[in-house]
Amino acid sequence: MTTDSSPLPPENYNGRILTGNYSDTLKKRVSELISSSRSIEQTGSPVSHYLAAWHENENVIWYEYVPHKVAALLGCQDDDVAAAFRNAVLDRRVYRYVGFHESKIAEEVLNRQQLSGLRQDLREEGKEKGRVEAVYKIILPENRTAWLKDQARVENYSNDKVCLSFGCLTDVSKEMEQKDLLERIGYFDQLTRLPNRAIMDRLMDVKIGEFERGYTKDFSLLMIDADYFKSVNDTYGHLAGDFVLQSMAEIMSATKRKEDEIGRYGGEEFYGLCQGSGKSVRLFAERLRKAISSHKYTYKNHDIKVTVSIGIASAREVEKISKESLIQMADQRLYKAKEKGRNQVVTAS
């Protein structure tokens, strides 16, 4: 399969392909990717580029190239990285967009034991898709933990029965630690996965501070309440009510602007925090109202009609700015929307 024109292995090469009985096409590709990876490493990039490979009929993966800093992180020699990384993995996490207009992110977690039985299936999945993206939680020497994000392109060389995974490892420990912290202290509502009232309190503190210092001209609070929600639970059951709340959360997340925040206040009530006031915020609230009322909620073959009433209060309207004064004003306008017949937005004008 090889000829005299096959590329020579680089210095300190610990792979198999360049010294094995593989095609010149595969060897040339491996040589190019190793050269590219080494050039990137010499720039001092914080991202670690690697080249992994596996045989289609073997449950073993090895590295054709991996930066020395990865071996140093794992506390092993360069030629032991594959085994050291496999033994260090605590779990593998994959994040995918799901739900209404792919507005929600789902986390899929496989622990070490589950991974052990699924490695071959995961490689086949990577081969079919041509790419891999996951976050690995690993245990390091001295019982430290770290999170490495793996993003790779998978190339299949069927004549050699070999797949290459050319990718990069990025340290995302700070981001994942913050995510885990927020989940542990309960900042996200378990049902809707939206920020809860504790987040709203913190955000309002920040926005009030910015407003008082003149960093922002105005901001608005929206109180959003599902109309006749008790009848949904009474008629169709609480699981149907949960389904409606989850659907509403997805719709509002998909409809909101980048500068807005949507969260769950409690029960069937949600909140919104928006930059500015007046016409632009009212138009945004109307988009929310219409998106919710026009959506078809079908639970176990039952079509459920859902509408919301919305009250809006802006910082410039209250005499003395505080969280309590804003919530009180927005609540009063929410009740007014209910009194006027529901499925309405009420603001200052």
Residue 240 structure tokens: 């149907």
Half-sphere exposure of 205 (CA within 13 A, CB side): 6
Using an 8 Å Cβ cutoff, are 24 and 2 in contact?
yes
Q: Among 237, 219, 220, which Cα is nearest to 229's?
A: 237
Q: Among 341, 270, 267, 349, which Cα is nearest to 316's?
A: 349
State the burial class of residue 348 (Cβ atoms within 10 Å of its Cβ: 0-12, 13-18, 19+).
middle
The string of DSSP codes covering 263-318 is EEEETTEEEEEEES-THHHHHHHHHHHHHHHHS-EEETTEEE---EEEEEEEGGGS
Using an 8 Å Cβ cutoff, are 192 and 249 in contact?
yes
Using an 8 Å Cβ cutoff, are 136 and 95 in contact?
no
Q: How many CB atoms lie within 10 A of CB 191?
A: 13
Q: How many CB atoms lie within 10 A of CB 316?
A: 14
The string of DSSP codes covering 87-117 is HHEEEEEEEEEESGGG-EEEEEEEEHHHHHH
Instruction: Identify the bridge partners of residue 89 per DSSP, sorted by sequence position.
Output: 138
Question: Helix, strand, or coil here: 152?
Answer: strand
Q: List active site positions.
A: 268
Rounded Cα gap, residues 234 and 236, in angstroms:
6
For 24, 247, 269, 298, 314, the CA distances from 303, given in Å and listed in that order, are 62, 13, 21, 4, 36
Q: Among 313, 317, 340, which Cα is nearest to 329's?
A: 313
Rounded Cα gap, residues 220 and 226, in angstroms:
20
